[in-house]
C-alpha cells in the first residue's frame, strides 16, 4: 500500500471530543486517510484487505472470517435481517437503536415482533426464553450496548437462552461495545456480530465490519430475495477472493491498517480494562456530584455514560456550556433527548483526558447551578 510516513506510536494528543460515536480519531490514523489511491482489485489492495480482515479476528474474538462493508452500521443491521430472516424475527428493544432494528425489519417486509423493555433497563434473558417458547423465529436481534441509554445488555446469558430454547439465530449489534467491552463471538455462540468502525475502534466513519456463523450462512442460502448490497453470501464469496463486494472506501482501509496495530498492541483485555476504568472513574464523579443515571446501576455501559443533569439545569445547557469550553459531549438521543446528556468514553480516550473533562464539567455544572439558583 502507499507509504505516507505513518507510525503507530501513541501520540500525546489531548482528547476533548467525547461524543459516543463517531469517537476521536488519532492523528496518525487521520493522516493515513490521505494516502494515494490504489486499484481495489490490485494485488496491493488484496494484501491490505487480507491483513486488515485477519487482524479483525482477534478483535471480534473469532476464528470465522471477518467481512467488511463500505457503509454505516445500519447497512449491516439491514443486511443481517434481509439475508437471514425468511419470515419471523424477534427484536429485543430497550432504546433507540434496538427500535431502529425493528423498523429496519418492517421496512424489509419481515414479520417483526418486539419485546419492549423500558429505556434505561437491560433485557431480561428469561423474557426472551418465554417469547421463544410461544413462537418460532428465524432470528432474534439484540443491541449489546444501547448507546441511547448507556445500558449494556447481558449478551452472554441472552445468547445462551436463545440457543437453549430455540433454533433461532442470534444477531448482535455490537456497534458501541466491540473494542471497548468483551464481545466473545465464538465462545458465546453469536451467529452474526456487526459493528461500525467509528465507535470503540476509533476509526473514521465509513467502514463497517461483521462476522457470520456457518449456521447463519446456511440459513441465508434459504432466504430469497437477499438484495444485492445486503446479500451476506455475496460478501462471503467476494471475501474468499480477497476482496470487497464493490469499490470500498480505500482510505478507510489505510486508516484501519494503522489503528488495528495500535488496538492489537494494546491487547483486547487491556483495552476492555481501560474502558472499564473510564466507566468507573465516571461513576465516582457522578456519585460525588450527586447526579443521576438514566440507566440501571447493574447494567452500566463501559463505553458511554448517559446522565441526567441536576435539578434546575437542562441537559442541552450542559452540552452547550461544555462546547463553549472546547469539549464535545453527546446530547441525549431519541426519547431521552431532552432529559439526558452522554459522555462517550470510548476508543482512544485515556484516564487523563477523562479527568480533564470531568474537571471542566464541575465548572460547567457549578456555573449552571449558580445561575439557576439566581433565576
- The piece of 68-76, 184-192, 236-244, 311-319 that touches ligand PLP (CB under 6 A) is 68-76
3-state secondary structure (DSSP) of residue 252: helix
User: What's the sign of the alpha-carbon dihedral 324, 325, 327, 332?
Assistant: negative
Q: Which of residues 235-264 bind ligand PLP (CB under 6 A)?
A: none
Please confirm whether the linkage preceding 256 is cis (ω < 30° from 0): no
Q: Are strands 17-18 and 328-331 parallel, antiparallel or unpaired?
A: parallel
Look up residue 115 and give its three cell numbers: 419485546
H or E, element range at 139: strand 139-143
Note the helical H segments in the chain: 27-32, 43-60, 73-84, 96-107, 125-134, 155-165, 214-221, 232-240, 250-266, 268-289, 315-324, 351-374
Secondary element (H or E) of residue 151: strand 151-152
Q: Compute how many residues bind ligand PLP; rule: CB under 6 A.
A: 11
Binding-site member from 62, 147, 219, 282 for ligand PLP (CB under 6 A): 147
Question: Quick one: 275 or 365, whose CB is closer to ligand PLP?
Answer: 275
Count of all residues that appear for the chain in the document: 375
What gap in Å lies between CA 140 and CA 291, rounded to an integer? 35
Dist CA 48 CA 244 (whole Å): 12
Q: Which of residues 12-51 bind ligand PLP (CB under 6 A)?
A: 21
The residue range among 42-50, 85-93, 122-130, 170-178 that interacts with ligand PLP, by the rule CB under 6 A, is 170-178
Return the number of the residue (73 or 313) whose C-beta is nearest ligand PLP.
Answer: 73
Whichever of 97 and 293 has its CB closer to ligand PLP, that residue is 97
Minimum CB–partner distance for residue 93 and ligand PLP (Å): 12
Piece in contact with ligand PLP (CB under 6 A), picked from 171-179, 224-232, 240-248, 310-318: 171-179
- Direct distance between the N- and C-terminal alpha carbons of the chain, in angstroms, rounded to an integer: 60
- We find the least distance from the C-beta atom of residue 41 to ligand PLP, in angstroms, to be 26
Based on the shown chain and the rule CB under 6 A, indicate whether residue 328 belongs to the binding site for ligand PLP.
no
Q: Between 147 and 259, name the residue whose CB sits nearer to ligand PLP.
A: 147
Figure out which of the listed residues 65, 173, 191, 353 binds ligand PLP, where binding follows CB under 6 A: 173
Q: Which is nearer to ligand PLP, 64 or 148 (CB)?
A: 148
Closer to ligand PLP by Cβ: residue 196 or 347: 196
Residue number, 195 or 282, with CB nearest to ligand PLP: 195
CB 3 to ligand PLP: min, Å: 30
Per CB under 6 A, the segment of 105-113, 168-176, 323-331, 362-370 that binds ligand PLP is 168-176
According to CB under 6 A, which residues from 124 to 143 bind ligand PLP? 143
Q: What is the enclosing helix (H) or strand (E) of 92? A: strand 88-93
Q: Which is nearer to ligand PLP, 175 or 307 (CB)?
A: 175
Single out the segment in contact with ligand PLP by CB under 6 A; choices: 173-181, 219-227, 261-269, 289-297. 173-181
DSSP structure class, residue 83: H
Q: Which of residues 189-228 bind ligand PLP (CB under 6 A)?
A: 196
Quick note: the x/- pattern for ligand PLP over 81-100, rule CB under 6 A, is ----------------x---
336 binds ligand PLP (CB under 6 A): no
Q: Give me the residue label for grid cell 439484540.
A: 142
Q: How far is the CB of 122 from ligand PLP (least distance, A)?
A: 14
Cα 215 off chain centre by: 23
Of 67-75, 85-93, 271-279, 314-322, which part binds ligand PLP (CB under 6 A)? 67-75
Provide the Cα torsion 246, 237, 67, 88; round to 10°.
Answer: 100
d(CA 147, CA 175): 9
CB-CB contact of 123 with 153 (8 Å):
yes
Q: Can you give the C-alpha Rg of the chain in angstroms?
A: 21
315-324 and 351-374 are packed helices; what angle lies between their axes, rounded to 10 degrees?
Answer: 120
Q: Which is nearer to ligand PLP, 220 or 304 (CB)?
A: 304
Residues that bind ligand PLP (CB under 6 A): 21, 72-74, 97, 143, 147, 173, 175-176, 196
Amino acid at each position: 500500500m502507499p507509504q505516507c510516513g505513518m507510525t503507530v506510536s501513541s501520540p500525546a494528543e489531548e482528547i476533548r471530543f467525547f461524543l459516543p460515536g463517531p469517537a476521536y480519531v488519532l492523528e496518525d490514523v487521520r493522516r493515513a486517510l490521505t494516502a494515494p489511491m490504489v486499484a481495489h482489485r490490485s494485488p496491493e489492495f488484496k494484501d491490505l484487505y487480507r491483513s486488515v480482515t485477519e487482524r479483525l479476528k482477534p478483535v471480534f474474538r473469532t476464528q470465522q472470517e471477518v467481512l467488511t462493508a463500505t457503509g454505516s452500521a445500519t447497512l449491516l443491521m439491514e443486511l443481517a435481517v434481509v439475508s437471514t430472516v425468511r419470515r419471523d424475527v424477534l427484536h429485543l428493544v430497550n432504546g433507540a437503536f434496538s427500535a431502529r432494528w425493528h423498523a429496519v425489519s418492517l421496512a424489509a417486509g419481515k414479520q417483526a415482533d418486539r419485546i419492549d423493555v423500558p429505556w434505561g433497563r437491560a433485557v431480561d434473558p428469561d423474557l426472551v426464553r418465554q417469547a421463544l417458547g410461544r413462537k418460532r423465529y428465524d432470528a432474534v436481534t439484540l443491541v449489546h450496548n444501547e448507546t441511547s441509554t448507556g445500558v449494556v445488555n447481558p449478551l452472554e446469558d441472552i445468547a445462551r437462552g436463545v440457543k437453549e430454547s430455540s433454533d433461532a439465530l442470534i444477531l448482535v449489534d455490537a456497534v458501541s461495545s466491540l473494542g471497548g467491552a468483551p464481545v466473545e463471538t465464538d465462545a458465546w455462540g453469536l451467529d452474526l456480530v456487526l459493528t461500525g468502525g467509528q465507535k470503540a475502534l476509533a476509526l473514521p466513519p465509513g467502514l463497517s465490519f461483521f462476522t457470520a456463523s456457518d449456521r447463519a450462512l446456511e440459513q441465508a442460502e434459504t432466504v430469497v430475495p437477499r438484495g444485492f448490497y445486503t446479500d451476506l453470501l455475496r460478501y462471503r464469496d467476494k471475501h474468499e477472493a480477497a476482496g470487497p463486494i464493490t469499490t470500498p472506501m480505500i482510505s478507510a482501509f489505510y486508516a484501519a491498517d494503522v489503528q488495528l496495530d495500535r488496538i492489537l498492541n494494546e491487547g483486547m483485555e487491556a483495552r476492555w480494562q481501560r474502558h472499564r476504568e473510564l466507566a468507573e472513574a465516571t461513576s465516582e464523579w457522578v456519585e460525588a456530584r450527586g447526579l443521576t443515571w438514566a440507566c440501571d446501576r447493574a447494567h452500566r455501559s463501559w463505553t458511554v455514560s448517559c446522565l441526567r443533569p441536576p435539578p434546575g439545569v437542562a441537559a442541552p445547557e450542559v452540552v452547550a456550556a461544555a462546547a463553549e469550553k472546547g469539549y464535545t459531549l453527546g446530547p441525549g438521543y431519541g426519547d431521552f433527548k431532552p432529559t439526558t446528556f452522554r459522555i462517550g468514553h470510548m476508543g482512544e480516550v485515556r484516564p487523563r483526558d477523562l479527568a480533564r473533562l470531568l474537571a471542566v464539567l464541575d465548572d460547567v455544572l457549578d456555573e449552571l447551578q449558580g445561575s439557576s439558583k439566581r433565576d
